[in-house]
Amino acid sequence: MIARTFARRIAGASLVAAVLAGPLVVVQSASAAPVGPGLFLTVSGSNDTWIRGVDLDCESGRGGDHPNAEAACAALDRARGDLDALPGRPRPCTKEYDPVTATAVGEHRGRSVDWTRTYPNACVLWSATDPVFDF
């Protein structure tokens, strides 16, 4: 009787662990580097409560699926591919702390990019990086 109860608990714990681990695999694959030219841009909320991502291809002229690819590519070109040097569009932002993390992985004009920054809120992100992370 004790052995059977113990076996049930182990089986139940294994099932719970498998169920909880399943979504982790999906999240990890969503942040993988893109295949092909260009950049994969993401913005995620605090503790990855949400995430958005787009492809930005400035080389082929297709632009990827970024909603404002032409302006984003122009801003990246002015910054010579250095996302820390983006001119952004300064605007007043609240001091609300709701952190967002922006990432860019891939290649821009032959230069490898692997960039991540966390901003205190989405307004500060857009102010610093507009139009690149405006999607």
d(CA 45, CA 100): 5
% residues pLDDT > 90 (the chain)? 64
pLDDT tens for each residue of 26-51: 333 344 444 567 999 999 998 889 99
One domain for residues 5 and 42: no
Report residue 35 as tokens.
């295949």
Nearest residue to 56 (alpha-carbon basis) of 38, 79, 30? 38
d(CA 127, CA 97): 15
In 3-state terms, what secondary structure has residue 4? Answer: helix
One domain for residues 119 and 84: yes
One domain for residues 24 and 39: no
Domain total in the chain: 2
